[in-house]
Structure 1
């Protein structure tokens, strides 16, 4: 996807609880973000500020080219507040260039081993944020989105539409909050460490790791959101106390590994992998939620780089005074 999907369209904390004691999604923290992003470059990340997520160092400069060799400069990284184009043709160009930039960055990030350490370079973080913001804009402007898809290369149009659709569905569930300061956020575990948790749960319960990843992405942006919901749902996979007692297997609801195993246990008991729609509806009684999770999961299955892109989507909160970003550069 690399074209994503905001995620996550994230869900703002405090939107609404799940009925029948099911886990509760983080209330569309401004669709705490999602859509896909892409790749990384080398460089150690700088220490994260309290309550903020990663910020990364720039990639190392390349070797000096031989005399007579033309210098090819990489595209400049987008600033965190880079303007969003208005015209569909300009939006399509921005999405195409950002997707290519992300793809290269994610490949570099993975080759450098940063996905296992939690160090994410600006070459990944900044394009992922811009892509997320582009998708969120399209999710709120359906007519412009349709014209933008038509201007995109065929290989990008489908993934872009899937991510924007997922974000739009999650935004439809969001409820504005009055005090975003109540949201506690922190840096997530490294991307490859999370994959290890997802795959372990898949082996034990037969639930596709991509589906588990998509659920965590939508619920808490891979564990960035650590505040309980207004109904009492807790942890990186957002469980209500009674549901955790039944499916938590004696673990800690705030422990990432335990929470992912419990989510797989719950989804399996609710029909997965035989019927993912039924299982996800049990997890959160909303068909819009079900559709969004499955769209993101399919994007990850199509290209694992989409997982790494989603991992770098930031947390947005929809407030009574407008949208506010809580994490990122």
Structure 2
């Protein structure tokens, strides 16, 4: 196994990782960034982004990620293809294994591995991702103004996103797998009281319809097995996200869902010199702009940590 020593290691790309890289590089930390299994993160699955400041005409998600990557490279970030497969944060410097074959020891580590949306697993769903299939109503709901849409889910997030869509769309079909919702009572009441939301109980998705874009959804009633087709131009999946944190378990404090816990108002984790930013530690907002902001925080926290560490070592 090859070995390497770096000053600042960034694990993961996307708005959080690339922004951390921009700030870390400009601060002279000589960051090395590994892009991970999904270079660019979830925005690579998004078509047009209209709510990121500075793009009055909007920008395609993949293009935004290319721009952020180019900006990080401009300031000297060493951007590499590779996946972190194991870590050891029990001692300083921290150890990270890349692709089970390359060991890096790092004075500081910024984790920006994100969270992956949970999908239904349908071939038709995968085929139409970014062409009517979305996991973020706040991101993409505007494109379906005054149109019919379908949302799948029964928790608080699904209820919140259905309520958001109801303000924009002419009709929202909400598909609930059982005869009850998991959402809190207040969120259930909000959904039930909106006249343009129709809840379909005991319902699962058979197929998302359409060739080049979503045109409808075929659903099945679990009790009667009856099949029905709904007209819709948008299909939103709101069954949760899975933070990409499994390799950090046993070292970093996490909540019950696996999101990394950071100290309030900072990117600091429970391990000195290890920082977390973006969706890997944010289950509430999950927006490109908030991820980028937390990436900035992580880089600034890492810069201050390393500066204080050097002072301490010089007096040792």
Fold similarity call, TM over 0.5: no
Name the TM-score, length of structure 2 as normaliser: 0.27
The structure carrying a bigger helix percent of its residues is 1
Name the TM-score, length of structure 1 as normaliser: 0.26
CA radius of gyration, larger in: 2
Structure with the greater relative contact order (CA < 8 A, sep ≥ 6): 1 or 2? 1
